[in-house]
Amino acid sequence: MQHKNWRCTKCGNTTFDTDQFRATGGMFSKIFDVQNKRFTTVICERCTYTEVYRTKSSGLGDVLDFFT
């Protein structure tokens, strides 16, 4: 993917890939394995430098994580 406003801070490349992951937050979340924190990553396609941004997680997604 390319976006004219994004530029890698390490190599200056403008092409990147994006992905998402979830993580647990506090003690309650760890005990019940509820991944209530969601992050988006932007990965440079040339040097693989990765920036991580926290995003809002949906309440429904948290409930579904609890049951799976």
What mean pLDDT is reported for the chain?
A: 75
Domain count, the chain: 1
Over pLDDT 70: what percentage of the chain? 59
Residue 35 located in a structural domain: yes
Q: Band of the pLDDT at 64, cuts 50, 70, 90?
A: very low
State pTM to two decimals: 0.64
Tell me whether residue 5 is in a domain: no
Whether 1 is in a domain gets the answer no
Question: What is the span of the domain harbouring residue 36?
Answer: 16-67
Closest CA to 24 of 60, 66, 53, 52: 66
User: Is residue 3 in a domain?
Assistant: no
Strand partners, 38: 22, 55
The amino acid that residue 44 corresponds to is C
Tell me the average pLDDT across 47-51: 96
In a domain, residue 38? The reply is: yes
**Residue 22 located in a structural domain:** yes
In a domain, 47, yes or no: yes
